[in-house]
Amino acid sequence: MPARIGILGISGRMGTLLKEEVAAAGATLAGGTARRGEEWPNDPAALGRVSDVLIDFTIADAAAAHAEAAAATGTPLVLGTTGLSAAQEAALRTVAGRIPVVYAANFAPGVNLLFALAERMAAALPPETYDAEIVETHHRQKVDAPSGTAVALGRAVAAGRGTTLEEAGTESGRDGHTGPRKTGTIGFAALRAGQVVGEHTLLFASGSEHIALTHRSFDRRVYATGAVRAALWVIGQPPGLYDMKHVLGMA
């Protein structure tokens, strides 16, 4: 029997692509939720009851409630919403003690390979010698900055250096007389223009060399394809908080 996949936010831009990718994967669309329109009611719990897994690409403020609704029905969850606060992420970790959750800043396979490379490079390039800068560009409608993918890149760099992003410190939004850069911090720059799907560059820079890794997304479909792949993988997994490294067999 094909897996039944429910889509939270089915009427949105990502929701439309997810519907198509569910069909392409040979799965069954169990239904969806939407804030407007009669075709898709806004009832996550009801959707969870008729789904084998839920996919959520809505908004950060809805993430905790959607996760709790999934847990109430024992339905695995794939969450691709970015911009979650520390409290919202904490709520998600609590829910992951009851159901399996795949939570990723980016579902593109190439980006997740970039995370792995970033961690390995950061481990090899001392922060006392190599500054780390992350530059990301997205479409003008994106509401969070830096992007979730950029933050995940920063966390990968920090992990490679044996610390956390919070402990390492960040530098972003430089303006005016900011003084010299602090050693070991991780820099972020966010650009918003036009309809850029997503571009991320990680730069390691020393006094004698620069090394840059860049990933560009040209079609949002790559995120939908990856999310459906994650949805099919998470069915039957034990409760826990997973990411795309697990889905891709890299963990």
As annotated, the active-site residues are 138, 142
Please tell me the distance from the alpha carbon of residue 49 to that of residue 211, in angstroms, as a whole number: 49
Q: How is residue 223 annotated by DSSP?
A: H
The phi and psi torsions of 98 (rounded to 5 degrees) equal: -115, -30
Alpha carbon 139 to chain centroid distance? Answer: 16
Please tell me the distance from the alpha carbon of residue 110 to that of residue 62, in angstroms, as a whole number: 28
- For 151, the enclosing helix (H) or strand (E) is helix 148-160
Please answer whether residues 160 and 116 qualify as being in contact, where contact means their C-beta atoms are separated by less than 8 angstroms.
Answer: no
Count of other CB atoms within 10 angstroms of residue 134: 27
C-alpha distance from residue 148 to each of 71, 83, 105, 136 (Å): 24, 6, 5, 10
- For 65, the enclosing helix (H) or strand (E) is helix 60-72
Please tell me the distance from the alpha carbon of residue 225 to that of residue 115, in angstroms, as a whole number: 19
Tokens of 126: 């001392």
Tokens 């709790």, located at residue: 68
Nearest to 137 by CA among 190, 98, 71: 190
Which residues partner with 207 through β-bridges? none
